[in-house]
Structure 1
Amino acid sequence: MHRSLTVAIALTLACAPLCVAVANPQKGTQVSEVTTQLPRDVRPTHYEISVTPHAGKLTFDGRVEVTIDVLQATDRIVLNAVGLRFSEAHVHSTRNKRAYPDPEVGVDESAQTATFSFPQALEAGSYRLIMEYTGIIGTQANGLFAIDYVTKAGKKRALYTQFENSDARKFIPSWDEPDHKATFDLTATIPDAQMAVSNMPVKHREDLGEGMSRVTFATSPKMSTYLLFFALGDFDRATATADGVEFGVITQQGLVSQAQFALDSSQAVLREYNDYFGVPYPLPKLDNIASPGSSQFFGAMENWGAIFTFERGLLIDPAFSTDADKQRIFGTAAHEIAHQWFGDLVTMQWWDDLWLNEGFASWMAGRTTQKLHPEWKSQLGAVGSREYAMSADAIASTHPVVQKIETVEQASQAFDAITYSKGAAVINMLENYVGADVWRDGVRRYIKAHAYANSRSDDLWREIEAAAGKPITAIAHDFTLQPGVPLISLEEAVCDNGQTTIKLSQGEFTKDRPDKTPLRWRVPVIARTLGGEPARALIEGGGGTMHLQGCGAVLLNAGQSGYYRTRYAPGDFAALRDGFASLAPIDQLGIMGNTAELGMTGQQSAADILDLIKATPLDADAKVWDRVAESLQRLDLLYRGDVARQQKFRSFAIGTLRPALKKYGWQAKDAESEPEAILRANLISSLADLGDSEVIAEARRRYAARETEPQAMPRALYKTILNIVASHADVAAWNQLHAAAKMEKGAMMKDRLYLMLASAKDKALAQRALDMALTDEPGATNSAAMIRSVAEEHPDLAFDFAMAHRENVEPLIDTTSSSRYYPRLAGNSLDPAMVGKLKDYADKYVAASSRRATQTAIDNIEYRIHIRAQRLPAIDAWLKKQEG
């Protein structure tokens, strides 16, 4: 699943009456039990599903025949079901067709289970459990849901499914846990004029008369319930064939021309993965389904053979899509297609090991993007992803990569920066440690050993070790079974006869626990002197010594493959600062990240990051300047509400970024790279956010001239200019954008315009956007995103509004997002009172076992309040010194 870094809260969750651990038959040093929320005396092997959606009424009729193995005699069958009403249930033996008395059906909505009780026990053997039922079509992206959207032909409604992590139970009564794999036959009764899509190709279509047809799909491979997919609507499909696989991109009618890049990208990625994994993609087709709307939980989902992606992550609109959009589309495709092996063919046994799906797919997407599109320099972007993970991993509410999951809500909360970004960063470090070819060989062994089955993290480590011929599991355990970020400090550097000997110590980097007893890791460290060749060592037991070629400034984590922070004494840092312009871009990014984070924790001067920014040459890599702009904006946010001090800081920040914008200008230049084109837009956005009156005025001028001056709003800056106009809007401009949103007939731009209305810096206009979010106007899946957009600029206003109108807001949120949604609204707050508000919210609405998201928001708010008081004076002093 691809997160866009966006769950009704279940106060009694699926684990409530039944949450047990069963023995894991696969031995290893990792925890040898797997959590389950269902009895283990019955195992499904095949589902035959028939569904008839009633889109207009938002209901559906279902019938399923499940072939089951009863492993030991039992008088009841317990499976998962939510929001389903059963009309019939029957059981018969598959061996002799003997029918048994119909069971009594008991539904426990709080436990998300249905229990079928029999008057006498079923003996061990094979049976068919037949159920007829009705269900609900939702308006948020969970279970079977509807998306309403506008077109030039009028309003349309399409249906889609989203089952990860635990929502297949809203579509079919099932054993809705990842290690209950089975095969699936799906049949749907649909309107003649519409297209139905599932994991497998259509096997048969039968005309039923009266405008209806029955569509039967081919039998799926053995897979987990959360990977099943169904969609229905007025669709078009673009197709291509490569490596024996039929590729498709399915869109709303009239938009297939926008799908070509995604179609081409999918073919290139699949060819690369067929080679890398050593196991060819096993399904006959691979569709990617584009949906209007949005989710607060995800942006794309890896259903086997039928990837679901919201339109903004899949389609290229020639009017406004940018190079950054194109790169995101490729990255999303690379991530989701990696899941077809890591997640679909081989699935984690339980949500504890979700990172095996998401961390690996994130790493694989970055690796593949770098290989197929080196001009995009995705390896530099990976540094930012690692920084994001280390920031989250350094607060008290962090968790290990392999985490203990016991409830549905905890599983939903597991889709976070630790799972995705830390998982990817750790894989990158371990691949670098054993070598790329060895790592690939181990991955191939792992895929072949566990195809169509389930696995745990230790199964991967075992195969990597076998391929490498050296131990790796201990290192992997250090970084995946315990939380936190190692801190490697340069204690001493002595040069003698052209060789530098360095002494390193190991601690732990934490943002909010300065007195914490540090954990210990076995850390693969790469270091070099500036101008020297890299040296490698495994630092363990609290420290170690390395010998480096040459003399001069020492750089730790050279090449930035390690998941750890680095600390230098003031003199050593000064040497790196003085040589900053000569460093490779990837090391410039790493040093900037470390300097900013250590400065905020008081382990070096908070102003050191400004020294590095000042040392950044104008011709530095575009992604380095992206980091400069981002760093300045982050510091600016800490001054929010303190106008006089903020204006002094902004004067420096604007003065720093203006020369870069002057270099790149507002118009594209011949032969410029895509990262440079993206930087142009980012510089313009950053300067506007920093209050640069010249940039804001130019954006407004171009917007006003858009109909008379063809080049006023070039495609690459179309959204950037609109964003600036919206965020700095007065009443007249806001009303004009509102009118444009209501008139817009393209779903993707219409969704974006409503989000832009919610970005207004003017508090009264932000309130108007909040009020609008509770109406039907923006669209059911856009309203929650509008409130989130308001929260970026006005966190306290948005949180207070959402809590005051919680009964109206709750139906607008994906059920998988609810317990995280409200804390994220508060995330940018600098008001100490918000801590109490969040605690009150959690006490009233969130189960005690599911409060990590709330605690994370509290930790970050308290940390920012602390650094605002303790670190900004050093920034102020640095700025004053520049004036002198």
Structure 2
Amino acid sequence: MNKPATHVRRALLRRLATAIGLLLTMAAGAQAEQTFSFDRTPGKLPKTVVPLHYAIELRPDITSLALPGVETVDIEVREATAQLTLNAVNTTFTDVTIDDSAQRAEVATDATAQTATLTFAKPLAAGRHKLRIVFAAQINKFGTGLFSVDYPTRTGIKRMISSKLEPADARRIFPCWDEPSFKASFALTVVIPRNLLAVGNMPVTDEEPVAGDLKKVAFAPTPKMSSYLFVLAVGELERVTADAGGVTVGVVTTEGKGGQGRFALDSAVKLLAYYNDYFGVKYPLPKLDLIAVPGGFGGAMENWGGITFFESRLLFDPAISAETARRGIFAIIAHEMAHMWFGDLVTMAWWDNLWLNEGFASWMATKASEQFYPEWQGWLNGYGAKQFAMTLDARRTSHPVQQPIADHSEAVTAFDAITYNKGQALIRMLETYLGEQAFRDGIRKYMAAHAYSNSTTADLWQALESSGGKTITGIAASFTEQDGVPLVVAEADCVGAAQRLTLRQDRFVIAPANDPPLPARNWQIPVAVGPSHGKPFDEILLKKSTNIPAGACGDAIKVNLGDVGYFRVEYGPKNRAALLNAFPQMQVADRLNVVTDSWALVQAGRAEAPSYLALLDALDAGDHRAVWDQVISTFATLDRLSRGRTERPVIQAYARARLRPVFDRIGWDGAGSGDDDTALLRASLISTLGDLGDAAIVAEAKRRFAAFADDPNSLPTALRDAVTHVVGVTADRATYDQLLALARNSTATNERLRYYLAAASARDAELARATLALTLTGELPDTIVTGMINAVASAGEQPQLAWDFVRTNFDTLLARQGPNFRDQFVPNFMTNFTDEAHAAELAAFAPSQSTTGGRVMVARSVQAIAISADLAARVLPAADDWIRAHKP
């Protein structure tokens, strides 16, 4: 708890806050005039009126969830008008006046457009005005806008509130111009119970008691920022802090959990110094809080000065968390803190350039991981991010990285693997092409030029070209302005003793066999080519095709050395045979690249399943975790596709036969640090082999879980997720009840998730029904309700049961989960099916067709179902035949 300030201290803090706010706003305005064309920015709101500064007072009632408030907005009217339009959702307007006068506005709201139009009796003259709005919004129970979170403690259920506003939910808290180009400063005051702590974007400048048991808390004004970066968290909270070069870095938790934020705090301190140096612009706010929220939403949000995290993504408790959990915590902190520059300081002008935020934050997070924890091998072990993006990008329903966005519902759909993972992969490829130093110089120029303003992709290319000495606009545009994945076809020919390699590009496509062809694409592709265990030849920029000398006849030549390029490779028979002979001598990244591309070619129908399965014979049981993780992922796909088919027992037996030697080599109990790749691979193998029905693994998991019930210290934290999952999948009623009891008795978010999701994975139909019923009781955090339903369908293998439940209870679930349940969850959930009938059922499901964003998601999922059906029909019989003949 903060103590109330003295009268003198309050006055000093007020003056300091005002001075800071004025300086930041002046600096921001100067930069904006130089670099940003506001009028050309896309968006839905008219640009005749622009907000400059919001002074907002909120009185959240944590019990009733009412949210009354009043705001005074300094606006600039750019041309005389009697109307102004701004955003609002579920908001009651009590009084709207202009310039402290008696002139009141008539208010007309549009629920579909999420706008409110204010009409005045007389036109407002061009120039500056003060708009005052008295309003009442509401605190939601689902994780958008300002939302409530009920969480268990040793003394009972407590409640906190927090905010999550990206892309367009600030309008749920207060009326505002809720588009990223309308940057303004925000001065927040909240009236809350005296026993609670409030956290905002900026430091507290004043705190004083008011009537009853309440207090008024005032925060310093923010610099100019987009409305979606506003943050407020209120609850029985505690804060641990450290100094980072004059910036106060804090971790905010519910009471009693501050110590679990130590790793996060230490990480943030060193990341801040690293980013200050890399970007060449120091973090400009006086404080940066990392706020642990025990529910509400499942990720993290880069609010400027107050990043919110789902609690289990931020806190580390060695008593219940595996040592390897620190990798994920560091990664998400590094991602969100990178947004303090890419996204907060410099913001994309509209959601069509979202990748400038998310792609760069993802890339920077891995770069930081490589800087501080090179033993984690962030690029190698994070290969799955690029693979997932390439799989989606190869479909008809893909989209360019830089894509048109019509409205807020479509903006939500842009938060996908194309935006994040493809964006990250392209940045890494461009950094490699330009060179690290030149690339960083370009980023520094970009940050300096666009600080406190908005930008477009073109601005970034200009800055990088001016520093790199290479033309990259053509390369970058070919990857950002069109969808699709390049395919480089490599074929070798011998002329006497010399070998030449022909490279030509095509479009890599994954689509059902009866789909019409997709349009051709042409890229400018930086391609690294060279001996399979050597250095690349001279730099190649492949535009259509080329023919290069490639050593002696029969040499193994690898394309995409180091696996940095964003493209697939298809080798001719001679190249492929030579590569397989040299396979053990390759670098791990190159072996992994061959394995991933081989499976992708099967998915695309450009290779047969036996070619991939035969490649697995070349893998050593001691190969790197990343290689075996790819194999595990493919086996999981084949197992899912074969549910209910005759091929499944054969495929499962083959997968067990290939994976069991890998597990036997590392065993149940290792002697490593607990934070190494062996520990991660061990856990992955236990889960997978349990799913595949390995009797010995299942029996040992049950034995260890029984011992854990008697003595929790008997089961290492590194094995708890995997063992609990296997026990959950195979649970009977007694074990199911035991898992639920463990979840109910825990106050740790990640521990509760572990047990609840394990229970939801039970493959017994009656237990699945019990889980589905549980999602309606209010016992579960709203954050995990959709995860529980999906676990019943996927791990529990009861998709029809879960779908029937969703349809029957749709209105109740929608009311509790919010619009994302309709637009996002339902389409994604339906990809648990692999048949045409369910694709048609989704296409006809009216609620998910009610917004443009929902229709985008439905189209993607219908295509995914069709691809799964086609893959099952093509691959499973061929795999079955090969396995029976091969007899592993």
Equivalences for residues 72-471 of structure 1 within 5 A? 72-92=79-99, 99=101, 101-295=103-297, 299-471=299-471
Residue deviations 1:400-453, cap 9 Å, x none?
000000111000111001000011111111111111111111000000000000
Contact 2:149–2:161 (Cα < 8 Å) also in 1: yes
User: Could you say which residue in structure 2 is the equivalent of 1:762?
Assistant: 764
The 2-side partners of 1:59 and 1:843 are apart by 28
Matches within 5 A, 1:398-547: 398-494=398-494, 500-512=499-511, 515-547=517-549
Cα distance change, pair 495–334 in 1 and its aligned pair in 2 (3 A): farther
- CA contact 2:849–2:858 (8 Å) conserved in 1: no
State how many pairs are aligned: 851
Change (3 A) 1:799 1:538: farther
Question: What letter matches 1:565 in structure 2?
Answer: R
Give the C-alpha shift of residue 659 in structure 1. 1.6
TM-score (norm 1): 0.93
Higher relative contact order (CA 8 A, sep 6+): 1
Separation (CA, whole Å) in 1 of partners of 2:636 and 2:172:
43
Report the equivalent of 1:11: none
Cα drift, residue 269 of structure 1: 1.2
Aligned residues of 2:491 and 2:574 also touching (Cα < 8 A): no
Higher helix share: 2
Q: Which 10-residue stretch deviates more, 344-353 or 840-849?
A: 840-849
Say yes or no: does 1:604 pair with 2:636: no
- Counterpart CA distance in 2 for 1:50 and 1:446 is 35
Report how far residue 318 of structure 1 moved.
Answer: 2.2
1:537 Cα deviation from its structure 2 partner: 4.0
User: 1:857 Cα deviation (Å)?
Assistant: 1.1
The corresponding residue for 1:12 is none
1:756 is displaced (CA, Å) by 2.2
- Once the 2 structures are TM-superposed, how far is the Cα of residue 187 of structure 1 from its aligned partner? 0.4
Q: Distance in 2 between matches of 1:712 and 1:798?
A: 35
Superposition deviation, residue 710 in structure 1? 6.0
Relative to structure 1, the CA distance from residue 577 to residue 811 in structure 2 (aligned partners, 3 Å threshold; closer, same or farther) is farther
Cα separation, 1, equivalents of 2:866 and 2:63:
48
Deviation at 1:145, TM superposition (A): 0.4
Instruction: Report what 2:842 is aligned to.
Output: 838
Q: 2:644 pairs with 622, 641, 645, which one?
A: 641
CA-to-partner distance for each residue in 1:627-659, whole Å, 9 max, x for gaps? 2222222222221112x4211222221122112
Per the TM alignment, residue 33 of structure 1 is displaced from its structure 2 partner at its CA by 4.5
Q: Tell me the CA shift for residue 501 of structure 1.
A: 2.5
Indicate the residue corresponding to 1:8 in structure 2.
Answer: none
Q: Tell me: CA distance 1:849–1:225, structure 2 relative to 1, closer, same or farther (3 Å).
A: closer
Q: Distance in 2 between matches of 1:751 and 1:481?
A: 40
SS in 1 for 2:475: helix
Deviation at 1:491, TM superposition (A): 2.5
The one-letter amino acid of 2:803's match is F
Residue identity in the other structure for 1:533: K
Distance 1:159 1:495 in 2: 72
Matched, 1:806 2:817: no
Match runs of 1:717-736 below 5 Å = 717-736=719-738
Task: Mark the CA change 1:317 to 1:671 in structure 2 (over 3 Å): closer, same or farther.
Answer: closer
Give CA deviations for 1:363-383 in whole Å, capped at 9, x if unaligned: 111111111111001111332
Aligned-residue offset at 1:843: 7.3
Matches within 5 A, 1:520-669: 520-549=522-551, 552-642=555-645, 644-669=646-671
Return the offset for 1:263.
0.7
Q: In structure 2, what is the Cα distance between the partners aligned to 1:576 and 1:673?
A: 33
- Structure-2 separation of matches of 1:217 and 1:844: 40
| C-alpha distance in structure 1 between counterparts of 2:466 and 2:123, whole Å | 47
Q: Secondary structure at the match of 2:791?
A: helix
| Structure 1 Cα separation of the partners of residues 294 and 249 of structure 2 | 21
Residue 872 (structure 1) shift: 1.8
Q: Residues 111 and 381 from structure 1, CA distance in 2 versus in 1: closer, same or farther, beyond 3 angstroms?
A: same
User: What's the counterpart of residue 13 of structure 1?
Assistant: none
Partner of 1:683: 685
Contact 1:532–1:549 under 8 Å retained in 2: no
Q: Which moved more, 1:208-217 or 1:445-454?
A: 208-217
**What amino acid maps onto 1:774 in structure 2?**
L
Q: Assess, with a 3 A threshold, how the Cα gap between structure 1 residues 427 and 856 changes in structure 2: closer, same or farther.
A: same
* One-letter amino acid of the structure 2 residue matched with residue 641 of structure 1: G
Q: Deviation of residue 541 (structure 1)?
A: 4.3
Distance 1:52 1:307 in 2: 22
Deviation, structure 1 residue 711: 5.5
Q: With structure 2 as the length reference, what TM-score do the two structures score?
A: 0.93
SS in 1 for 2:605: coil
More divergent stretch after superposition (598-607 vs 544-553): 544-553
Distance 2:38 2:693 in 1: 53
| 1:174-203 deviation line (CA, Å, top 9, x unaligned) | 000000000110000111111000010111
Q: CA deviation at 1:536?
A: 4.4
**Alpha-carbon shift at residue 54 of structure 1 (Å):** 0.5
Deviates more, 1:165-174 or 1:752-761: 752-761
Q: Secondary structure at the match of 2:148?
A: strand
The Cα of 1:267 is off from its aligned counterpart by 1.1
What SS does the aligned partner of 1:830 have? coil
Q: Is the 8 A contact 1:76 1:116 kept in 2?
A: yes
Match for residue 865 of structure 2 among 843, 861, 866: 861
Secondary structure of 1:851's partner?
helix
* Amino acid across the alignment from 2:321: S
1:35, 1:795 → 2: CA distance?
A: 41
Q: Aligned partners of 1:657, 1:26: CA distance in 2, in Å?
A: 59
For the Cα contact (< 8 Å) 2:109–2:116, is it kept in 1?
Answer: yes
RMSD: 2.1
Contact 2:395 2:509 in 1 (8 A): yes
**1:18 alignment partner in structure 2:** none
Alignment partners' CA distance in 1, 2:260 and 2:477: 44
For 1:395, what is the secondary structure of its paired residue?
A: coil
Which has the larger displacement, 248-257 or 607-616?
Answer: 607-616
> Does the 8 A contact of 2:394 with 2:484 survive in 1?
yes
Cα distance change on mapping 1:349 and 1:730 into 2, 3 Å: same
Residue type of the alignment partner of 1:586:
A
- Whole-Å separation in 2 of the counterparts to 1:701 and 1:656: 24
Question: Structure 2: where are the runs of 5+ without partners?
Answer: 1-31
Q: Secondary structure at the match of 2:622?
A: coil
1:104-149 per-residue CA deviation (whole Å, 9 max, x = no partner) reads: 1222222211111111111101000001111111011111100001
Counterpart position of 1:874:
878
Q: How does 1:701-712 map to 2 (within 5 A)?
A: 701-708=703-710, 712=714
* Larger deviation, residues 117-126 vs 625-634: 625-634
Q: Distance between the aligned counterparts of 1:584 and 1:59, measured in 2?
A: 59
For the Cα contact (< 8 Å) 1:532–1:548, is it kept in 2? no
Q: Which amino acid aligns with 2:881?
A: A
Moved more, 455-464 or 825-834: 825-834
| 1:813 CA displacement | 2.2
Q: Which amino acid aligns with 1:568?
A: Y
Q: Is this contact kept in 1: 2:823–2:851, CA < 8 A?
A: no
1:6 is matched with which residue?
none
Query: Could you tell which deviates more after superposition, 611-620 or 147-156?
Result: 611-620
Superposed CA deviations along residues 193-234 of structure 1, whole A, max 9, x for unmatched, are 110000101111112252211100111111000000001000
Q: Following the alignment from structure 2 to structure 1, what is the Cα–Cα distance between the partners of residues 490 and 406?
A: 41
Q: CA deviation at 1:785?
A: 2.2
CA contact under 8 A between 1:429 and 1:561: conserved in structure 2?
yes
**Is the contact made by 2:647 and 2:877 (CA closer than 8 Å) also made in structure 1?**
no
SS in structure 1 at match of 2:158: strand
